[in-house]
Structure 1
Amino acid sequence: MTTLRTHTLALALSGLIGSLALTACELEVPDLNNPALDQLENNPTAASISAACTGLLIGNRVNLAPQNGYVGQLGILGREAYSFDSADPRYTSELLQGSLSRSSPFGGAFWGAPYANIRLANIILKGVDKVADFTGEEKSAIQGFAHTMQALAFLQIINAHDTNGAVIDTDRPLGAELAPIAEKPEVQAEIARLLDVGATELGAGGDEFPFPLEVGFSGFDAPPSFLTFNRAIRARVAAYTEDYAGVLTALTDSFIDDEGEIDFRAGVYHSYSTKSGDITNGLQNVNLFAHPSLLAEVQKNGTENDARYTAKLKTVPARGAAPTVSTLQFTMYAATTPVPIIRNEELILLKAEALFFTGMVGPAMTELNLVREGSGELTALLGEPSRETFIDYLLYERKYSLMFEGGHRWLDLRRFGREIPLDTADHSRNVRYPIPLAECDARPGEAKCILGST
């Protein structure tokens, strides 16, 4: 467990105790009378375990869409976005101009909250077998759900921290010796393992979960359909590790649909609402602007811009100060707009990537053009490109298809070895998050704590 284990456990339980409700989807969970940790671990009930599963959904959503959350920060680092918030100059001074600070709520982010969810999932996994009211299928469904949610939490941590690593031995008792910070390949292997274990459990989980899921999981709210979501995330993880045969295998069992009339928006989302007790989508913010490169690099079909650009951006009066000035704002998000976790459009692009890097260039271009023509309304790309040219093609399609949805641009530039473009020579390329200060303070001499963000 991390040195933040006491704090993160409190965060996890804050999403569990009391009246749990994701009101956007009318999830009503009974008051658990603030159960102590040992009660939840040692004397769990069907109600408390089900509520804890709902807590995993809340915990996974918690730092996704605030202005300074995962989508926002990674979007700024990847030069998809600016935040012209005069109340906090760190959106520019830290994210663009300087190095990420391990002691700030910016550079120290994406550690405590996901570890809270991992810890809560550990509690669920220990407790579920103690509940006689659950059938064997229900227990398996809960286990598959919990392992999948753990994988999502680890994925957020390692996406942010990259080669700085992460702690994967998270189930040590409170007060035990700190577990080591594992290297990135170890973390990615653990994510793949959790997803594969979860897939097996979901396959034995019957036809219903014994708890409700939020509305953003509509169509994926039973073990068989949730399994296709698990496999979609597994395909993404395989691409991140360049296991392209694994991508194609996982996609076979995912919800990918690349035939007939394609719904590119189909997928799994986190939902938001204005109802009491819920939260709104913080990406609807007057200070958030799109990076001008989105206009400078947009491709056209004749005189018409890429349809993805047109659908997601609008021109507004200029904000900012040179060299960070923009006349573009996102139109993608309102207060109640859901944020994608993974969509069919990404799966088709993952398939194109995997086909190309397993030697099937023609089929790869077919898949790429499905998105380019169907979503972007651009003319098809022809021929059999070289490796570098295909990467150029792929990065363009991913840039406009997955714009400001989950840090994809920042992650893609890093995984394909492309430099982050700078607005001016004195700006920085922050390519990873540092290990947070509190973690490093508990680990004197830890080599990972010497490493920074550039």
Structure 2
Amino acid sequence: MKNMKKVALALCATMGLGGCGDLTVPDLNNPSLESFQETPTRTAVINASTGLLIGTRAGVTNQNGYVALMGVLGRESLVLDSADPRYVGEMLAGPALNGGSPAFGGNFWDNPYANIRNANTLLNALAKVEGVTEAEKNAIRGFAKTIQALDFLVIVNTRDTNGAPIDVNRPFGSALAPIESKEKVLAHIATLLDEAKAHLEAGGTEFPFPMGSGFRDFEPRTDGKVITITVPNFIKVNRAIKARVDVYRELWEEALVDLDESFLDIRAPLDLGVFHAYGTGSGDVKNTLNGPNIFANPILLEDAKQPDGSLDARVERKVKNSENPGELPGVIEKYSKAFAQYTADTASIPIIRNEELILLRAEANIRLERYEAAMDDINFIREESGGQAEIPEVLEGDLAINELLYQRRFSLLMEGGHRWIDMRRYGKLDALKREDPPGMSFNVHPRFPIPTTEMIGR
């Protein structure tokens, strides 16, 4: 993109997903970008493949990262940092998000596009590398394009109808790629995922590189060891992500087909899935969502109350008392609740889980007016995850949609902006205003702007 003057291709240590070098400057430990493009080696290609995992998790766990800021916009969370009032002043109180602020409005752009370019550089290198079998090349191609799809999803989830460039596999210095519509970006993501699936089907059984603890194999092991996910099982992950994209595109029948080919399993743990992994080792990245400035919106407890006075079990699990309550200027009551699911620096963050897949199937069936099938899945999630009683009647129309949105709200709480995205998809963003603090009337921002630096000269 315009403001990217360098490529930091992640040819880095594969153990622990550790730190990596910038290939635009001499680095005795890593090859130059030019040598990687012209004479790639097996080792460099393998390391670059693993490096894509590092790139796709960049900016996810920060206090001003994807999960936290999307949570603020969706009224799941509130960041109260006395040293930086922009979490309230810009993310909530401002008239619009500022595309000139790389941390509050202009973010979630450079990092995903850098990783998309890294993947393109890797894909281009596969045509020249020796010592890598054709099956291994296909496994790498399928993996890289799936990661690109995830990065494009971050971009379109944040920019929505502002759109984004998709034809970005261009040499530096060439003309800028045009900004395409949201619909074209989502279609491009779907194409990437379908191309990736075809590659993976020709990719053998095992990936030629380690993928970290967040991508564990789905097959049970009696020895308790964790092994890298197999290529056939990664196809199921690919289809799971495609099903999410299908739902965003309102392709309901296609979503059901992809869900059938995913790892959706009503008999399996709801946490079955793939995750961004974090660690405390040298060169690794910590999960900082357990920081002292991130608070749960009090409305969560109010809306999670059941008829008998108990709380939805998901809120019981995911919300806890904060050791150091936060203060919001102009609000007398202190914020005393925090999130419990990321208590450790090494806690993983979901990319996609079985629980979401079950709810995606319910949504597709609702929109196809197959209400009984949808209620089977909704009631399953109500009981298994929410600790709620089954709804005896079959809900239809808006009643079914509202129940679905309620279940998605608490099942996917603070996992990556699902609440904000869902309310936007269904034209209900204004309803989030009731979740503001008493006496406050914040703005509900519908999308992030394209960064100002990206728009100069267009």
- Asked whether 1:249 is paired with 2:267, we answer no
Distance 1:426 1:267 in 2: 38
- Asked whether 1:431 is paired with 2:452, we answer no
Aligned pairs for 1:87-98 within 5 A: 87-98=83-94
What is the Cα deviation at residue 210 of structure 1? 0.9
Asked if the contact 2:205–2:230 (Cα under 8 Å) also holds between the matched residues in 1, the reply is yes
- Asked whether 1:51 is paired with 2:38, we answer no
Task: Tell me the residue number matched to 1:284.
Answer: 290
**SS state at 2:126 partner:** helix
- CA-to-partner distance for each residue in 1:172-201, whole Å, 9 max, x for gaps? 111111110000000000000000000111
- Asked whether 1:232 is paired with 2:202, we answer no
**SS state at 2:203 partner:** coil
Task: Tell me the residue number matched to 2:318.
Answer: 312
Distance 1:54 1:441 in 2: 34
Distance 1:425 1:349 in 2: 33
Distance 2:304 2:18 in 1: 37
Task: Tell me the residue number matched to 1:362.
Answer: 372
Asked if the contact 1:301–1:378 (Cα under 8 Å) also holds between the matched residues in 2, the reply is no
Distance 1:33 1:329 in 2: 42
What is the Cα deviation at residue 22 of structure 1? 4.9
Distance 2:287 2:411 in 1: 20
What is the Cα deviation at residue 440 of structure 1? 1.2
**SS state at 2:50 partner:** helix
- Closer/same/farther in 2, CA of residues 53 and 73 from structure 1, 3 Å limit: same
TM-score (structure 2 length as normaliser): 0.91
Task: Tell me the residue number matched to 2:59.
Answer: 63
- CA-to-partner distance for each residue in 1:190-215, whole Å, 9 max, x for gaps? 00000000011101100111111011
Asked if the contact 2:379–2:390 (Cα under 8 Å) also holds between the matched residues in 1, the reply is yes
Q: RMSD across aligned C-alpha pairs, in angstroms?
A: 1.9
Match of 2:416 among 406, 416, 422: 406
Aligned pairs for 1:434-445 within 5 A: 434-443=449-458
- CA-to-partner distance for each residue in 1:263-288, whole Å, 9 max, x for gaps? 11111011111111111101010110
Distance 1:411 1:325 in 2: 28
Distance 1:301 1:218 in 2: 39
What is the Cα deviation at residue 385 of structure 1? 2.1
Q: What amino acid maps onto 2:137 in structure 1?
A: K
User: Sequence identity of aligned pairs in percent?
Assistant: 45
Task: Tell me the residue number matched to 2:69.
Answer: 73
Match of 1:332 among 338, 341, 344: 341
Aligned pairs for 1:190-209 within 5 A: 190-209=188-207
TM-score (structure 1 length as normaliser): 0.91
Aligned pairs for 1:368-379 within 5 A: 368-379=378-389
Task: Tell me the residue number matched to 1:147.
Answer: 145
What is the Cα deviation at residue 292 of structure 1? 1.1
Distance 2:302 2:424 in 1: 21
Distance 2:239 2:111 in 1: 24
Q: What amino acid maps onto 2:411 in structure 1?
A: S
What is the Cα deviation at residue 370 of structure 1? 0.7
- CA-to-partner distance for each residue in 1:68-90, whole Å, 9 max, x for gaps? 10001100010000111111111
What is the Cα deviation at residue 131 of structure 1? 1.6
- Closer/same/farther in 2, CA of residues 90 and 345 from structure 1, 3 Å limit: same
Q: What amino acid maps onto 2:265 in structure 1?
A: D
What is the Cα deviation at residue 32 of structure 1? 7.2
Distance 2:106 2:125 in 1: 31
Task: Tell me the residue number matched to 1:449.
Answer: none
Q: What amino acid maps onto 1:23 in structure 2?
A: G
What is the Cα deviation at residue 55 of structure 1? 1.1
What is the Cα deviation at residue 36 of structure 1? 2.0
- Asked whether 1:39 is paired with 2:35, we answer yes
Q: Which runs of 4+ in 1 moved over 4 A?
A: 24-27
- CA-to-partner distance for each residue in 1:391-442, whole Å, 9 max, x for gaps? 1101110111000011111101100110242225641111100010110123
Asked if the contact 1:24–1:275 (Cα under 8 Å) also holds between the matched residues in 2, the reply is no
Q: What amino acid maps onto 1:52 in structure 2?
A: A
Distance 2:409 2:140 in 1: 35
- CA-to-partner distance for each residue in 1:251-306, whole Å, 9 max, x for gaps? 111000113xx411111011111111111101010110001110110032634211
Task: Tell me the residue number matched to 1:273.
Answer: 279
- Closer/same/farther in 2, CA of residues 119 and 411 from structure 1, 3 Å limit: same
What is the Cα deviation at residue 325 of structure 1? 4.7
What is the Cα deviation at residue 222 of structure 1? 1.9
What is the Cα deviation at residue 389 of structure 1? 1.1
- Uncovered stretches (5+) of structure 2, i.e. residues with no partner: 21-26, 219-228
What is the aligned length?
A: 431
**SS state at 2:304 partner:** coil
Asked if the contact 1:353–1:364 (Cα under 8 Å) also holds between the matched residues in 2, the reply is yes
Task: Tell me the residue number matched to 1:172.
Answer: 170
Task: Tell me the residue number matched to 2:224.
Answer: none
- Uncovered stretches (5+) of structure 1, i.e. residues with no partner: 444-454
Distance 1:386 1:52 in 2: 49
- Closer/same/farther in 2, CA of residues 35 and 25 from structure 1, 3 Å limit: closer
Distance 2:334 2:391 in 1: 33
Distance 2:123 2:429 in 1: 41
Match of 2:118 among 117, 120, 123: 120
